[in-house]
Every structure is written in C-alpha cells, then in structure tokens.
Amino acid sequence: MEKKFEPLFTPWKIGNVEIKNRVVVCPMGGTSLFGWMEPHHFDKDAAAFFMDIAKNNAGLIIPGIAPLRNLMGGAWLYKANGAFRKLKTYMEEFHKTGAKLFVQLTAGFGRSFSVPNKFVPMLKNKFLGKLVKPIFDIQYLCASPSELPSRWAEGCTCRQITVKEIHKMINAFAKTALKCKEAGVDGVEIHAVHEGYLLDQFCTEYTNHRDDEYGGSFENRFRFATDVVKAIKAACGEDYPVSLRYSVVSKTKGFCEGAMPGEEYKEVGRNMEESEKAIKYLEEAGYDMFDADNGTYDAWYWAHPPAYMPTNCNLEDVAHIRKFTNAPVVCAGRMDPATAAKAIFG
Ligand SMILES: Cc1cc2nc3c(=O)[nH]c(=O)nc-3n(C[C@H](O)[C@H](O)[C@H](O)COP(=O)(O)O)c2cc1C
C-alpha cells in the first residue's frame, strides 16, 4: 500500500467502541435492514449486501434509514420482535468480519417527504387523507415543525406536528435503540439534524415557527434532537454509542432554493456560526459521533453530490466544525481517498 493511504487504515473510537479503520459506509435509503413498507420485515438482500462489504474490510457500516414507524400501516419498528431476532443472529455472523454496524433510525421527513403523485389529492384534502389514513397516513408522514410548503408536492401544505406526536417518537427512539442494543448492534445513528429532514426542520429558523418548548430559542429548536439522545442514553446506558447525521451548514437561500459552491448568499438555515455552537451543544447532550455533510432538501446536491459537484465538496466545512467538538466527525460527499487520508490527522 502507498504510504499516503496508511492513515485510512488506523483505528479510532466512538465512545468505547473501536472501529478498525476509517472506511465508513454512509447510509443509503433502499438498503434498510428492515425495509420501509413491509411490517416486521428483515431484509435478507440488504443484510447479504452489507456482509459482503464487511468481508471486504469496511470499518463501520450504517445501512439506510430505518423509519421508527412503517410507512405503510404505521406499525412501530420496536414491536417487530421477529425482525430483531433475525438481526441478532445476523450480528453474530457480521462481527466475525471485524467490522462494526450502526442502525440509522429516522424521525422521518416532514415537508421533505417525497409524496407519491397518487397521494397528492389526499395531502391536499383532509377528508380524502382520513380515508387512506389506516394504510398510508400521508398527513402524518409530512407533518412538520410548523405549517410548511411541501418540498415536492406543489401547492400542498404540511400540517404542524403535535407535542404528543413528538413525545411518542422520542419514546420510540429509546425503545428501538434498546432493541438494537439487545440484538448486538454496535450503536445507533439518529437521522437527522441533516439535509432538511424532520429533526433538522426543527433546528432551522426558516422551517420552525413554533411558539412552544420546541420552537423559538436555540435551545428550544434543538430540543427534539437533544431529547432523543437523552432518552436513548436513559434506556440503553451512557456508554451505548449514539451518532448524529449532521449537516454543518444548510447552504439554503429559501424554499426550493439552494446555494452553489462558492456563491455569496444569505443563509436562511444553519450558518457556520450557529453550527459551531450547535455541535458543542449536541455533544454535551450525549451524541458520541457526527456523520457530517452540508445542505438541505432545498439544496439537496450537497448531501448526495452528483458528478457536477466538486470532489470533497463538504470537507472544508466538516474539517472546520471538527475543531468545535471532541467527538469523532465523519465526512461524506465525493471524497477521494488520498485527500481523505490527509484530512484524518490534518
Ligand atoms: C441513493 C441515496 C440514498 C441515501 N440515503 C441516505 C439515508 O438513508 N440516510 C442518510 O443519512 N444519508 C443518505 N444518503 C446520503 C449518503 O449517506 C452520503 O452522505 C452521500 O451519498 C454522499 O456521499 P458519497 O458522495 O460518498 O456518495 C443517501 C445518498 C444516496 C445517493
């Protein structure tokens, strides 16, 4: 191996969990270990895919988002006892590779939910929404911190989520994380103060206009995200690792308007100054790792950069934010291995 790549094969730690190298497989939706639509499902194909990657020497694997509640029918994941039994058997085999695995649990999408065309009338019309609710609760799936325009369904408004619904989600995060721990999963990742998903919508001022304990001040906007980690630590113990998917800067000019690399613009989401404060605050609340990038769904190309984005497009901002936390920080986004290796001890 060329000397310049050696840093990529050095170990590191998330809390007490040692990861054998710096190769982190970031989550990709479509590869959830539980699927999204089938209740009480363990996805053998996704599991085989990740076993293969683990055998090829990845250090940490984070499969694609697992919704706390099934999108179809709304069954809570923590009640899927059969799926967790299969996961436990899988983890025993998986650990023989020396790799570690975190399950990424999502609070959901809020206004970023990509509404299937057929369901647009049900989102627009409350009565039609109620009719399909037992199968596909579109109003709940799109529920946002405040009444907000849907990112995708033109002319549709997403309703405000209730405090009772928030508390149910926090409780479900804790219960599901405990199931993961009992199944031998090495840690969980919370999705996400990242990319304009529901938790992120709470954190940014342009999407959170609430006047209760979950809106307004910095502490209130970050309360949902901090409540989640505190509830997980209370259920699983302080030493069970909890990572946060985190976008350093929102790179957002307004609804459906993203900023380009190098562009001068006025940030409506999280700017660097707030991010420096936020990452410390989130670490103090209990997060053990930050899996970082940039962007929101209004500036979606930062978080899943296509070929026209520069290589290592998020590295400068992620390297900067690393100075404000003692927790390990992972960087995603068109990383080239030589630059990644240089950044590790840089
Ligand atoms: C198809 C696709 C699905 C993704 N799904 C998720 C996801 O479920 N959770 C998440 O946090 N990030 C998700 N991402 C973002 C990736 O984890 C990663 O940050 C992004 O692809 C940038 O890294 P890359 O340039 O190495 O691919 C997804 C990206 C793609 C392309």
Residues paired with residue 76 on neighbouring β-strands, in sequence order: 69
Q: What is the mean pLDDT of residues 61-74?
A: 94
pLDDT, position 38: 81
Domains identified in the chain and CATH numbers: 3-344 (3.20.20.70)
Cβ 305 under 6 angstroms from ligand 1? yes
User: Could you give the residue numbers annotated as active site?
Assistant: 197
Mean pLDDT of the chain: 96
Q: What share of the chain is helix, strand, coil (3-state, %, to 5)?
A: 40, 15, 45
Do residues 63 and 17 lie in contact, with contact meaning Cβ atoms separated by under 8 Å?
no
Q: What burial class does residue 20 get, using C-beta atoms within 10 Å of its C-beta: 0-12 exposed, 13-18 middle, 19+ buried?
A: middle
**Residue 171 alpha carbon to ligand 1 centre in Å:** 26
- Ligand 1 atom index nearest CA of 189: 11
pLDDT band at 346 (very low <50, low <70, confident <90, very high): confident
**Residue 26 alpha carbon to ligand 1 centre in Å:** 6
- Ligand 1 atom index nearest CA of 30: 3
Q: What is the pTM of this model?
A: 0.97
* 196-244 residue pLDDT tens: 999 999 999 999 999 999 999 999 999 999 999 999 999 999 999 999 9
Ligand 1 atom 10: residue of nearest CA? 27
**Residue 269 alpha carbon to ligand 1 centre in Å:** 20
- Ligand 1 atom index nearest CA of 27: 17
Indicate if the pLDDT at residue 20 is higher than 90.
Answer: yes
pLDDT, position 114: 93
Query: What's the distance, CA 132 to chain centroid?
Result: 28
For the chain, what percent of residues have pLDDT higher than 70?
100
